[in-house]
Structure 1
Amino acid sequence: MNVITLTLLHPDRLTPVQHWTFNDGSTVRVGRSTDNQVVLYSAVVSRYHAEIRRVNSSWELVSLGANGTYYEGKRISQVPIRDGMIFRLARSGPNLQIHLGRPDPALLKRASESTRIPAQAVSNTVAYHGEDDKTQLLQPSKIGLTSKTTMDSSQSSYASANPDPCTIGQYHSIKLLSRGKMGVTYVGQYAGEAVLLKTLHSSWLNHPEALSLFERQAKLLRSLNHPGLPRWCDFFRVDGQPFLVTELIAGRTLFHHILERGKVDLKQAVDWMIEVCEILDYLHAQALPVLHQDIRPSNIICRSHSTSSYQLALVDFGGVRGLSLDKLAATYLAPEQKFGQATVLSDLYAIGTTLSFLISGQPPHLFYRQWQQDYRFSPDLIPGLLPELVEVLYRLTEPNPNDRYQSAREVEAALRSLV
């Protein structure tokens, strides 16, 4: 049989999300790079992660990625393919099912009705204000979900109460954009303008601290006015469920920029971080200093077009997500944040780990080690860095906040000296 179909499965329900059918050819490659036949953006997926090869009259699955490919819970290097088998990219990555032949039309129908966003992103993407580094980008032309499936009642308690999920309050043409551990994000329209609507995941609606932090974040954003921050639009509740509305920033997160194009040169990385320092200088200079608390590449959007004087936008203040932060995301953050003791110097720490990702293309957890009495980020483990850059990164990421640069302006000056 020459036809083979790959089906991306929902990570929790294992229902079909998207299909790729191949009528001829002897190889189907899966990975992060855009020259694969199946492109999946995830922090754990390698550029070329797995390959399905035709061998005489049968097919075999071959693992290529550094994080491994898993079948029936075991890491494999090469296995023969059976119709309907499910394999996973890395221990925590996407699940894919293989069908020998075309998929059942009922599966295609269920996939088209899924509320999961497409996994394959192309140019002209919209970067939503994300939850974590595993979330996806979305092509604007592909977010046209039907009104019956725009919201999943298991994710939004409002959806089950609202007879027309295409509207929320005064906002219409609502479409699901993303779901994460803490929140759900939609894109909608109001007065001809596209906006983002964010709310808490239904599992957190009975969590008083999460509700309080979410409302505090909304009030905080309303008080700020800077071209490097998303513009506040509205905050309201429907049946007790809070919604924060902000402008929709078209562009791509720095995380996805690096995943797609690879690491950038020092000048580009420094230019970006200088912009972030300028935004932080504004935040920290407020009468009551405003902390971001979650600076990392997936929370920095590089605008695709804008009249703003800033190329970047710093999004997703981390107060709420701090209640549920995955381990890889936490490696960007200062050690004192694990104990709920964030300060302005904690934001500066994350400049260092973010810069390391931009210039190495590797997540910062790879560069931690035991050092004297501390387990610390160690930039000398990153190959090929200039000594001056290593020195700046060391000072940015000192475990003791008093040993770091003491202001965003100090960091900016140190970065400018590098280029």
Structure 2
Amino acid sequence: MITLSLLHPIKQLPVQVWTFENESVIRIGRSTDNHVILYSAVVSRHHVELRRVGASWELVNLGTNGTYLDGKRITQVCITDGAVIRLARSGPNIQIRLGAEALKNLSHRQETDRTMTQRSDDLPLPTDIMERHKPDATTPISSQEDAITSRFLSGTIPVPEHLRLPDADLEGDGLLTFAAETTPDPVQPNSFFFNSPDSQAERLPQISAEIVPAIDAQAASEQVPPPLSIQPSGILSGIPSSAVRVCSHARGGDYFCVDCGQPLRVLQTVCDYQLVRLLGQGKIATTYHAWKAGQHVALKLLNPDWVDNAQARGALECEADLLRPLNHPCIPHFIDLLMLDHQAGLVMSLMPGPTLSQTILAAGPVSLQRAIDWILSLCSVLEYLHQFAPPIVHRGIHPQNLLRMSRTDGSEAIALVGFGAIKALVLDQAISPHLNGYVAPEQMDWQATAAADLFALGPLLAYLVTGRPPVSFYADQGDGMRFCAVMVSAFTPDVVEIVHRLTDPKPEQRFPSAAALAEALRFARVETSFPVDAPLHE
């Protein structure tokens, strides 16, 4: 059990209390998809995550303005009972209590004020939230605490007057809009970057400017966060809850010793590969950041339910066979295939940089020119894959499988990871929810061609310039349900025409190759386009 208490800004007494008994992850922020919703001008949409790690809890900061513990800005720490965190330098204070004993000291009024023990799937509409937060003039307010708590609906943390947001405006599409902030989404397999100022990150691989086309320097100057991402750790079923301390140096670090470079803690060891932290988890497999003799790799292991499944093992071998011949700086390199009695894993190179999904969540939509530059970089990768005979079809192109990599000349290129979609096809599994809106009609078919990969670039371009899921741009305009480029207001007429052809339900009607698409995009007329949201400022 974990209990969160909002503390009065002056008296430092609990104003409102929330108890969670079964949650393993608790999110706090301004967005309505959080477990605890907090309306404040200095709080990010997704500001903090509390994660259960074995018998303890870990706090991960996701907010632009930071999270503070004992006056120090933190990135990721283990939480002790009674800890008080502050969201932003001038934000609200939240006390964290662990265990059932924390509830015994609460007053009767605070006990009845306790609202949300688990997150509800029925989230209130943004307009309902704003209306229900207005003070009721007919209700007498007897104290400053009551003045705070009377303004907020169940399931949200009340915020002192000087920190509350002004009434938000509703855009034409009915979406409640706030300023964007640097809030990364969950870590993706093969996404790797250290960002702690206290740790010495090893040199990350950079790619040559001669191999991958450069992204336009003017577009690169936009207000987009640099390729940094927070990579929370995690422990899954089958992994010991108490990690083994490996290094004994006093200075330590986040995950690796700043003195010797060895892992500070190891979750498990598989064939001399030491699992250091979780990168991503799927239904069939889980990917870890692993370390072996100074080498950092991504190790994908079949989940316990699939490890003894012959078809799942065969699917992992298919993925390995797909990666083995590839030699491109923007694609993970095959390292090893581990086939043990009760374990099966694929070892790949670890790719640096945040995902495009993390970037858009952090800073909001980008300009059309910026998005096209990213698509052009991706086209060079697809052109490489599709030159094989038969062409290598990725089948899983979406923002969480695309990383922004730094080049040796300071520019960027887009890397493609997540080649595991082949496993879903081999095992006859349903399409991942992440692919909704990006999937070509013929994609889950052994006969799918390179045109299926090109199809995904249309919805991807729409997501980059709007920040909205591509499914919101599907409609039936007389020729069946399909992606409608004309619905994307940020597209110019030239781009509408290109994307309309790119997302044609019939593969033969699309562009014949990634090179042909790239040529069309280079000659397209692109008017000046600005992001919908501005960066968050404290």
- TM-score (normalised: structure 1): 0.68
Are 1:6 and 1:97, in contact at CA under 8 Å, matched by a contact in 2? no
Q: Which residue, 309, 313, 332 being the options, matches 1:230?
A: 332
Q: Give the whole-Å Cα distance in 1 for the aligned partners of 2:401 and 2:275.
A: 25
Quote the residue 1:333 is aligned against: 439
Change in Cα spacing, 1:337 to 1:207, as seen in structure 2 (3 Å) is farther
Amino acid at match of 1:38: H
Deviations 1:256-302 (A, max 9, x none): 11111111111111111111111111111113211111111111011
Q: Does 1:128 align with 2:189?
A: yes
The 5 A counterparts of 1:202-213 are 202-213=304-315
Question: Shift of residue 345 of structure 1?
Answer: 0.7
The 5 A counterparts of 1:281-360 are 281-303=383-405, 311-317=413-419, 318-322=421-425, 323-327=429-433, 329-360=435-466
Question: Shift of residue 238 of structure 1?
Answer: 2.7
Q: Which residue, 389, 397, 406 being the options, matches 2:512?
A: 406
Change in Cα spacing, 1:269 to 1:121, as seen in structure 2 (3 Å) is closer
Question: Shift of residue 199 of structure 1?
Answer: 1.7
Q: Does 1:386 align with 2:492?
A: yes
Amino acid at match of 1:184: T
Quote the residue 2:478 is aligned against: 372
Quote the residue 1:2 is aligned against: 14
Instruction: Indicate the larger mover: 290-299 or 315-324.
Output: 315-324
User: For the pair shown, which has the larger CA radius of gyration, 1 or 2?
Assistant: 2
Change in Cα spacing, 1:230 to 1:405, as seen in structure 2 (3 Å) is same
Are 1:8 and 1:19, in contact at CA under 8 Å, matched by a contact in 2? no
Change in Cα spacing, 1:30 to 1:301, as seen in structure 2 (3 Å) is farther
Q: Does 1:139 align with 2:148?
A: no
The 5 A counterparts of 1:97-176 are 127-129=188-190, 139-140=230-231, 142-143=232-233, 150-153=235-238, 165-176=267-278
Change in Cα spacing, 1:304 to 1:59, as seen in structure 2 (3 Å) is farther
Change in Cα spacing, 1:20 to 1:388, as seen in structure 2 (3 Å) is closer
Question: Shift of residue 18 of structure 1?
Answer: 5.4
Q: May I ask how many residue pairs the two structures share in their alignment?
A: 336
Are 1:333 and 1:350, in contact at CA under 8 Å, matched by a contact in 2? yes
SS in 2 for 1:167: strand
Instruction: Indicate the larger mover: 282-291 or 315-324.
Output: 315-324
Quote the residue 1:263 is aligned against: 365
Q: Does 1:245 align with 2:347?
A: yes
SS in 2 for 1:278: helix
Are 2:183 and 2:362, in contact at CA under 8 Å, matched by a contact in 1? no
Are 1:127 and 1:251, in contact at CA under 8 Å, matched by a contact in 2? no
Change in Cα spacing, 1:35 to 1:306, as seen in structure 2 (3 Å) is farther
Structure 2 residue runs without a partner (length 5+) = 1-12, 30-35, 51-63, 65-91, 95-108, 134-154, 158-180, 192-227, 241-265, 527-538
SS in 1 for 2:422: coil
Question: Shift of residue 326 of structure 1?
Answer: 3.3
SS in 2 for 1:234: strand
Amino acid at match of 2:501: R
Quote the residue 1:44 is aligned against: none
Q: Give the whole-Å Cα distance in 2 for the aligned partners of 1:40 and 1:316.
A: 25
Are 1:183 and 1:200, in contact at CA under 8 Å, matched by a contact in 2? yes
Greater relative contact order: 1 or 2 (C-alpha under 8 angstroms, separation 6 or more)? 2
Question: Shift of residue 5 of structure 1?
Answer: 5.9
Q: Give the whole-Å Cα distance in 2 for the aligned partners of 1:369 and 1:277.
A: 27
Quote the residue 1:35 is aligned against: 44
Change in Cα spacing, 1:122 to 1:295, as seen in structure 2 (3 Å) is closer
Change in Cα spacing, 1:193 to 1:325, as seen in structure 2 (3 Å) is same
The 5 A counterparts of 1:163-202 are 165-202=267-304
SS in 1 for 2:383: helix
The 5 A counterparts of 1:57-76 are 71=120, 75=124
Q: Give the whole-Å Cα distance in 2 for the aligned partners of 1:177 and 1:298.
A: 12
Q: Give the whole-Å Cα distance in 2 for the aligned partners of 1:168 and 1:3.
A: 48
SS in 1 for 2:351: coil
Are 1:253 and 1:298, in contact at CA under 8 Å, matched by a contact in 2? yes
Which structure shows the higher helix fraction? Answer: 1
Change in Cα spacing, 1:151 to 1:35, as seen in structure 2 (3 Å) is closer
Are 1:300 and 1:313, in contact at CA under 8 Å, matched by a contact in 2? yes
Q: Give the whole-Å Cα distance in 2 for the aligned partners of 1:368 and 1:191.
A: 49
Are 2:476 and 2:482, in contact at CA under 8 Å, matched by a contact in 1? yes
Change in Cα spacing, 1:361 to 1:203, as seen in structure 2 (3 Å) is same
Q: Does 1:417 align with 2:417?
A: no
Are 1:181 and 1:324, in contact at CA under 8 Å, matched by a contact in 2? no
Quote the residue 1:65 is aligned against: none
Deviations 1:84-126 (A, max 9, x none): xxxxxxxxxxxx999xxxxxxxxxxxxxxxxxxxxx9868x97
Change in Cα spacing, 1:405 to 1:346, as seen in structure 2 (3 Å) is same
Q: Give the whole-Å Cα distance in 2 for the aligned partners of 1:127 and 1:71.
A: 26
Amino acid at match of 1:152: S
Are 2:182 and 2:361, in contact at CA under 8 Å, matched by a contact in 1? no
Amino acid at match of 2:230: Q
Quote the residue 2:82 is aligned against: none
Q: Give the whole-Å Cα distance in 2 for the aligned partners of 1:373 and 1:168.
A: 53
Quote the residue 2:60 is aligned against: none
Change in Cα spacing, 1:34 to 1:248, as seen in structure 2 (3 Å) is farther
Deviations 1:18-68 (A, max 9, x none): 5879xxxxx96179x963573469xxxxx9xxxx9x9x9886989xxxxxx
Q: Give the whole-Å Cα distance in 2 for the aligned partners of 1:383 and 1:244.
A: 42
Q: Give the whole-Å Cα distance in 2 for the aligned partners of 1:333 and 1:171.
A: 35
Structure 1 residue runs without a partner (length 5+) = 22-26, 42-46, 63-68, 81-95, 99-119, 131-136, 156-163
Amino acid at match of 1:196: A
Q: Give the whole-Å Cα distance in 2 for the aligned partners of 1:275 and 1:19.
A: 34
Q: Give the whole-Å Cα distance in 2 for the aligned partners of 1:407 and 1:348.
A: 8
Q: Give the whole-Å Cα distance in 2 for the aligned partners of 1:238 and 1:3.
A: 55
